[in-house]
Amino acid sequence: MNGEHGKPNDASARLTAVQARIRAASEASGRPQGSVRLLAVSKTFDSAHVIAMADAGQDAFGENYLQEALDKQARIADERPALALEWHFIGPVQSNKTRQIATHFAWVHSVERLRIAERLSAQRPEEMGALQVCLQVNVDDEPSKSGCTPAEAPELAVAIASLPRLALRGLMAIPAPREGFDAQLPAFERVKALHEAIRERLMREAPETGARFDTLSMGMTGDLEAAIAQGATIVRIGTALFGQRKAHAG
Ligand SMILES: *Cc1c(COP(=O)(O)O)cnc(C)c1O
């Protein structure tokens, strides 16, 4: 599948193959079946690709760029009004985009600052349920990468837990790329340990949030096995499902 911009009619075979990878990885690490959720990352792929993947049985989709996502959602609602999809925002959140994100997504994985969390909470529409959020952690402390530092994460989690229209569900991380399962394990292990420490602190200081702080959003096409071995509950998969991406236009 390398170098191929996947056609919509590959959807079913690609989805089955990714589900098999998730199942095998879960089994290999003694995780119960069904404990890892697949988020299909559809950035740069059009509505036809999303619809084909939905028809193959996938219901949750992740997007990085707000305008692209809104256009795609509108087109899908138009073409297939009965299709109920769950949309997750996984890209950097700019503060002038928080209202649209709070209105058009069920989840945001990429919260990294309190200001952004406050705006998302204030702008989440009354008639919608709480916005499900993860705190993004820059687990390798890479200077140019998104996410709060591991050291900042506990305080930030406690502060976000007090926001009324958000449900803080866990951590999201994108480790630096590394080749091979063994090399990939340590960064995911650090995220898992941080998640555990934050959950324990929340259980003391914000028990309602602590009780549902159950999400580790980590693992992509190249490292999902290592992420699952370290406890990932959501893997975010683009390339293996849709094919190689063309560069993003804007
Ligand atoms: C693009 C992207 C993915 C998917 O990556 P693949 O390697 O194509 O599976 C996952 N998470 C985030 C945050 C992304 O931006």
Q: Give 96-161 as a DSSP string.
A: GGHHHHHHH-SEEEEE-SHHHHHHHHHHS-TTS-PEEEEEEE-TT--TTS-SB-TTTHHHHHHHHH
Radius of gyration of the chain (CA): 17
pLDDT of res. 9: 65
Which ligand 1 atom minimizes the distance to the CA of 90? 13
Q: Where are the alpha helices (DSSP H) in 29-97?
A: 47-55, 66-79
Which ligand 1 atom minimizes the distance to the CA of 239? 8
Which ligand 1 atom minimizes the distance to the CA of 237? 9
Global confidence as pTM: 0.95
Helix axes 114-123, 153-161, angle to 10 degrees: 20
Name the least confident of 44-48, 52-56, 132-136, 245-249.
245-249
pLDDT reading at 7 higher than 90: no
pLDDT reading at 1 higher than 70: no
β-pairing, 86-89 vs 107-111, is: parallel
CA gap 146, 161 in Å, rounded: 21
pLDDT reading at 6 higher than 60: no
Report CA(46)–ligand 1 centroid distance (Å). Answer: 16
CA gap 60, 15 in Å, rounded: 12
Report CA(40)–ligand 1 centroid distance (Å). Answer: 9
pLDDT of res. 247: 74
**Nearest in space to 175 (alpha carbons), one of 124, 229, 226, 138:** 138
pLDDT of res. 64: 98
**Are 173 and 136 within 8 A, CB to CB?**
yes
pLDDT of res. 249: 55
pLDDT of res. 144: 86
Contacts with 10 (C-beta within 8 Å, 6 or more apart), sequence order: 1, 243
87-102 pLDDT, tens digit each: 999 999 999 999 999 9
pLDDT of res. 2: 39
Report CA(207)–ligand 1 centroid distance (Å). Answer: 32
Average pLDDT over the chain, rounded to an integer: 95
Shortest-distance Cα residue to atom 13 of ligand 1: 90
